[in-house]
Every structure is written in C-alpha cells, then in structure tokens.
Structure 1
C-alpha cells in the first residue's frame, strides 16, 4: 500500500486506461525456465506475491519487440524512482518465443544492446527454456503456439495473489503501466 501511495505523484495526470480487470485471469503455469544468467526460475515462485508485467519477445525480432523493450526500460526507470520507498516492487518478466535462438547468452547480448538492467537487482527477468517448458507458459497467456512471427503485442499486468489481470498494448505510456501495476495490488 505504501508503494501505491508513494508513486501517486508519478501517475497523477495519467489518462485512464480502458484496462478491464480479468478475474481470475490466467491459470498459472508450473514451468521451470532459465533467466538471462542461466539461473533456474520457477514461474510459480515468480508469480506468487507481487505485481507483475509479463510480455513475450524474441531476440531476433525486428518489429514489435524493440518497442516493447524500450517501453519496459522506461517503465523500469519509473519504478526505480519509487525503489527507496516501501512496498512490493513490481517484477517485469519477458518470456522468449524462440527456445532455439534465445539462449541465456543471446538474451544477455540483446539486453546489452538496449542497456537494460536485468536480474533481481533490476526487477526484470528475461526467461527462456525448452519448447516444452515455454509452451506451458505461452498457453496460459494466449500466445497460441509460440510462433515468433505471430505473437501478440500485449503486456499482461496483474497481481497473481489477488487473481486480478489486465492487458495493455505495448505502446501504452509507462506511467499508465505503472498505474495498472499498482492497481493490480489493491
């Protein structure tokens, strides 16, 4: 709650988002993935008790992924302005659509190209895994078969503990995304 209060000034003038809350939202996966540092990550653990934004990307994308990544970098900067204050920090989770090309090394190189701060320190993880592991995640977030050329340009925003989710377009202003992340926690 303190996190929401402290960030009010950041989002005061933000236009209202027609983000309808979906309840209960996606049925969360038990998938085990690996992050950009080749560290095993359980989706159950990541999606447990704090606001999250989930998106889908692949490092070879030349269309929507660079826009998504830029928006998330701006959102990360907005969130970091509130970092010294109390409350659950939102977690950004980018899930690969290319299990064959998106290795931890290629994801790190992609992140370096954009100057991203990833890992627990940055509250942003870029995850990959086998086709089978990723498929379990793709299904619950309506990514069909995980075809990189067909992926949706949406952010999933929610707080899994309260089972409140919404979706936002990748061009949504970072201040509005932050507002949605804080609303998810209410």
Structure 2
C-alpha cells in the first residue's frame, strides 16, 4: 500500500470537491468546446510573477498553453483551479508533444494580483518553470475576460469569474474552451492534441 502524503490527500480532496461543484453556480456562458474559427486575443501588456512586463501574445507563443483566470485573494473556487493546474502540470510532464506545454494563470484583480501575490500563488501549488502567473492592467481585464469567454455578458463582481480553462495553440490562437471546472484528463487530452 502506498503511503499518502498530506499534499496527496489535499489534492484528492480538492479534486473531489471540484467535481462536486455545480457547474451552474459558476457558469458564465454557453461557449465551450472547440473554438471555430479560432480567436486571437487583443495583445495587451501583462506583469508576471517576477515583475517583468511582457505581452500576452508573447507568452502564448511559448508553446501550447492552458489558461485560467484567477485572483490571488480568492478563497472559494480559485484554490480548486490551482489544484487542477497542479494536476495538469504533473500529468503533462510526461507528455511527448511537438511544442512545449505551458500553463498560465491570469490574475483579474489588478490591484491585488501584484507580483509577490502571483509568486505566492505559484508556490502554493508547486508550480514548475512552465507555469506562469500574470496580472492584467485595470483597463484590460473586462476585454480579455470577454474575449476568453466568447461572451459580452460577464458578472460585475470579480468573485463570480469563470472557472473555465482556455487552450491555445503554438500560434497563440484560442482553440478550445472547457466547461467550468473541467476534469484534469479533459484538459490534458486537448493539450495533447494541440501539441501534435
């Protein structure tokens, strides 16, 4: 019998809880599945966990990328999202893909998601070098969320943000939107297809 660490137990508990969350509670849209035609987001400047300013498109061009929106002060669904990406990261380390697999957590609270908070977020979920976190400028939050979701009707409260995962190909084109709080296997399967 394998000995479970505290981290294994917490991960299993969080994933089980994520599976039990009603999708209608966090659903922002009806847009999920393949994105046809693919979408290129408006290129905006972002600040990453090191305090470096980069463009979103440059980050997305570093490989095939799974994106999630979070805010570091969240104590409800964001920890579940972090656990989800932690499991995707672990599984995709063994994946053989033509392009590198990247993970990107986009902070949607420009006043709270400062570099130190983004670093702490990544540390909390044992992020490796292929998982980055960035914050959007205040003027870019709604536009980027709208483009990701494919819907102009977004909740005004940041706490009601989407828990979808968005997958981009190596040309920085949005190719797939998940349902809210998707299964780890589903995200990994899409990344695997995009990585061929």
TM-score by length of 2: 0.72
For these two proteins, the number of residue pairs brought into alignment is 162
1:4-83, aligned counterparts within 5 Å? 20-48=33-61, 50-82=63-95
Distance across 1 between alignment mates of 2:175 and 2:51? 28
Distance across 2 between alignment mates of 1:157 and 1:86? 15
Residue of 162, 165, 170 corresponding to 1:152? 162
More displaced, 95-104 or 139-148? 139-148
More displaced, 22-31 or 150-159? 22-31
Matched, 1:93 2:93: no
Distance across 1 between alignment mates of 2:53 and 2:136? 9
Report SS of the residue matched to 2:120.
helix
The aligned residue for residue 12 of structure 1 is none
Distance across 1 between alignment mates of 2:64 and 2:161? 23
Report SS of the residue matched to 2:186.
helix
Gaps of 5+ in 1: 1-18
Gaps of 5+ in 2: 1-31
TM-score by length of 1: 0.75
Q: Provide the alpha-carbon RMSD of the alignment.
A: 2.4
Distance across 1 between alignment mates of 2:121 and 2:185? 24
Deviations 1:49-103 (A, max 9, x none): 6321111000111111111110101111111123xx5621121111111000110
1:160-171, aligned counterparts within 5 Å? 161=171, 163=173, 165-171=175-181
Distance across 2 between alignment mates of 1:21 and 1:74? 22
Distance across 1 between alignment mates of 2:89 and 2:178? 16
